[in-house]
Amino acid sequence: MSKEKANIAVFISGRGTNLRALILRSRKKNCNYKIAHVISNKKNAAGLKFAKKNKITTKIISQSFLKIEQKNLAKILINKNIKFICLAGFMKILSPYFLNFFKNKIINIHPSLLPKYKGLNTHQRALKAKEKFSGCTIHFVSKELDSGKIIVKKKVRIFKNDTLRKLEKRVLKEENKLYPLVLEKLVSS
């Protein structure tokens, strides 16, 4: 008998290419996880469409995401037996209150080689600093922004004639490959 797949929740705010990559991988027969819930703080986030198409339950949270709402969401996710929460372009900071419910169970993907370039506009800053490499990092989420324990980093070369668009595209391609692989490893560890 095949082993039951681990339930995963993904938090998004927009485009959702990483969500899509996670879902596509989850549909493979030998994949050890399934995306059980997608949470967004934006009701028009493009990523929601793909989730709905794949019949995944979605939920919109409010911009304020106050304590009572956090508690209710945590309850829902605990009841769904969520093994990991993946942040994928989620533009809100989770409060320590929420993080406490899921210690070492929330991971994030960030478009830089952390600890360099925490926060926004990472590619722009890497280009301006004339870095030779950029890339992406998957890390556990802690109270401080983009600062939790690093799980893995993937380097991406920056070329002399690079533009913001080109670099972003190249890094995003690696992100989309890396996130499902890392999640599968975490689930099986």
User: Is residue 18 at the binding interface for ligand GRF, with CB under 6 A as the rule?
Assistant: yes
Kindly state the smallest distance separating residue 87's Cβ from ligand GRF, in Å: 7
Residue from 51, 109, 156, 178 binding ligand GRF (CB under 6 A): 109
User: Is residue 15 at the binding interface for ligand GRF, with CB under 6 A as the rule?
Assistant: yes
Residue from 23, 172, 178, 186 binding ligand GRF (CB under 6 A): 172
CA distances from 164 to 20, 30, 117, 177 (A): 23, 36, 15, 20
User: Is residue 42 at the binding interface for ligand GRF, with CB under 6 A as the rule?
Assistant: no
Question: Which residues partner with 152 through β-bridges?
Answer: 138
Residue from 84, 86, 89, 98 binding ligand GRF (CB under 6 A): 89
Kindly state the smallest distance separating residue 169's Cβ from ligand GRF, in Å: 10
- From the list 37, 110, 123, 139, the catalytic residue is 110
Report how far residue 168's alpha carbon sits from residue 50's, in angstroms, rounded to the nearest whole number. Answer: 22
Measured CA angle at 120 (ends 111, 17), to 5 deg: 45
Are the CB atoms for 86 and 9 separated by under 8 Å?
Answer: yes
Q: Please classify residue 42 by burial: count the beta carbons closer than 10 Å to its beta carbon, then call 0-12 exposed, 13-18 middle and 19+ buried.
A: middle
Q: Please classify residue 153 by burial: count the beta carbons closer than 10 Å to its beta carbon, then call 0-12 exposed, 13-18 middle and 19+ buried.
A: middle
User: Is residue 116 at the binding interface for ligand GRF, with CB under 6 A as the rule?
Assistant: no
Comparison of 15 and 170: residue with beta carbon closer to ligand GRF = 15
Q: Annotated active-site positions, please?
A: 110
Binding residues (CB under 6 A) for ligand GRF: these are 14-18, 47, 88-89, 109-111, 136, 172, 175
